[in-house]
Every structure is written in structure tokens, then in C-alpha cells.
Amino acid sequence: MQTTVMPLDERLWEEIQRNPHVVHNNLRFVTDRGRVTLHGTVDSFYQKQMAQEAVRRVDGVDEIDNQLQVNWRS
């Protein structure tokens, strides 16, 4: 029986959506041979870190460039 492996993009999106601490509405990412670059806005440094940690757990990720911007609310 052959096992199908999901593409890295799909595994990343699944892990990000599963994490309750990551607001994924404004989150995007780009992958390139194991390097993941996170883009978008989050509401706190905690959410920025949690997004990075969610990505770090995905098999196949070798490097993370966290370009998420924290949207400061007045």
C-alpha cells in the first residue's frame, strides 16, 4: 500500500488552522525548498511567535523567515 504525503503548503496550512493561538485570516506564507516565509498581520507578538512555532512543527520545514507584522491597536 502506497502512502500519500501532502505537499508542504497543505501541511503548513493545516497546522496553522489547527493552532487556536494563531489568527490566520491575514496570514500568508511562501515556501521554497524547506524555507517558509510568513507574511501578513497579527494582533500581538504572542500570535507572531505562535504562528512561527506552528510552522516549526511541520516536517520538511528547514528555515523560517517570520515577516509577520504586529498590528498595534489604539
Tens digit of each residue's pLDDT (9 = 90 or more) over 27-56:
999 999 999 999 999 999 999 999 999 999
Query: What is the pTM for the complete model shown?
Result: 0.86
Instruction: Report pLDDT digits (tens) over 6-31.
Output: 899 999 999 999 999 888 788 999 99
Closest of 34, 29, 35 to residue 68, by C-alpha = 29
Residue-level pLDDT at 3: 67
Burial class (CB in 10 A: 0-12, 13-18, 19+), 36: buried
Cβ–Cβ < 8 Å for 73, 43 = yes
Confirm or reject CATH 3.40.50.1100 for domain 8-70, answering yes or no.
Answer: no
Residue-level pLDDT at 2: 65
Look at residue 74 and tell me whether its pLDDT is greater than 60.
no
3-state secondary structure of 48: helix
Residues in contact with 32: Cβ distance below 8 Å, sequence separation at least 6, in sequence order = none
